[in-house]
Amino acid sequence: MNASLHDILSAGWGTLLLRGAGMTVFISLCGIALGMVIGIAGAALKSNGNWLARGLISLYTLLVRSVPELLIIYLLFFGMVQPAADLADWLEWDDLMSKIFPMLVGIVAIGLISGSYSVEVFRGAFKAIDPGQIEAARAIGMRRRQILRRITLPQLFWYALPGANNVWQNALKDTALISLVGLVELMRAAVLGSAATRAPLTLYLMAGILYFLIGACSQALFVWAERRFGRGMQGAAR
């Protein structure tokens, strides 16, 4: 017999879903941070690096975009599981395999996937910066670090915000795939709850509502960031 919503909440599945939502946000934040580092570095190399650096970055973006996200997760998981298990045995650290390892796989996978898209996002942002501003800064004697801190980075992040929003939303959804390697994030919590309560529709609807709320709040934050950090930039963008 299917459980009612009251039974589901009283049994603690609502709390598990909230914890899973927190894990989803955590994995997404860590993964997108790694992806941004990859994206900025890759964009800089692709724009100003030598032919070998440009070729390697192009190969990376093409390879990761061409391979399904689930396959990337499986390759990372099964490629790292034995070394991680050996390390856990050597350290006598059981939590490494049960909790830490799936989390690390998720962060690295999301980072690699989002990084492949972030490269083009930041490369476009680099190109949107008026080179005349850089030349003017050099003409008045600004150092490279000053140019980077006062001119390049503020404009880079503002121009990249719309594209970064799309990458973030995709990263949120990609975390659902990490459940297949044992990480209890939002989707995994819904699967466990639906199996225990035999009320899959209710659990999956609850998970969908939480995904929607996370996405809606994220969208609002990006809109706020564009307005907040874009003051004085609209004229330059035109």
Instruction: Supply the CATH number for residue 100's domain.
Output: 1.10.3720.10
What was the pLDDT predicted at 96?
A: 66
Q: Which of 157, 216, 221, 172 is nearest to 31 (CA)?
A: 172
User: Does some domain include residue 63?
Assistant: yes
User: Does some domain include residue 197?
Assistant: yes
Q: How far apart are CA 137 and CA 130, in angstroms?
A: 12
What was the pLDDT predicted at 114?
A: 95
User: Does some domain include residue 208?
Assistant: yes
Q: How far apart are CA 238 and CA 233, in angstroms?
A: 9
Q: Which of 230, 235, 237 is nearest to 158 (CA)?
A: 230
What was the pLDDT predicted at 1?
A: 47
Residue 19 token pair:
């914890």
User: Does some domain include residue 93?
Assistant: yes
Q: Which of 112, 104, 212, 100 is nearest to 171 (CA)?
A: 112
| Positions in the chain short of pLDDT 50 | 1, 236-238
User: Does some domain include residue 238?
Assistant: no
Structurally, how many domains does the chain consist of? 1
**pTM: predicted TM-score of the whole model, two decimal places:** 0.86
Q: How many CB atoms lie within 10 A of CB 144?
A: 11
User: Does some domain include residue 94?
Assistant: yes
User: Does some domain include residue 130?
Assistant: yes
Place of tokens 């939502």: 21
Report which DSSP code applies to 142. Answer: -
Residues in the chain: 238
Q: How far apart are CA 226 and CA 80, in angstroms?
A: 39
Q: How far apart are CA 10 and CA 138, in angstroms?
A: 65
User: Does some domain include residue 85?
Assistant: yes
Q: How many CB atoms lie within 10 A of CB 166?
A: 12
* DSSP line for 57-125: HHHHHHHHHHS-HHHHHHHHHHHHHHHHHHHHHHHT-THIIIIIHHHHHHHHHHHHHHHHHHHHHHHHH
Could you list the residue range(s) of the whole structural domain that residue 142 is in? 5-230
Q: How far apart are CA 161 and CA 226, in angstroms?
A: 7
Q: How far apart are CA 173 and CA 215, in angstroms?
A: 9
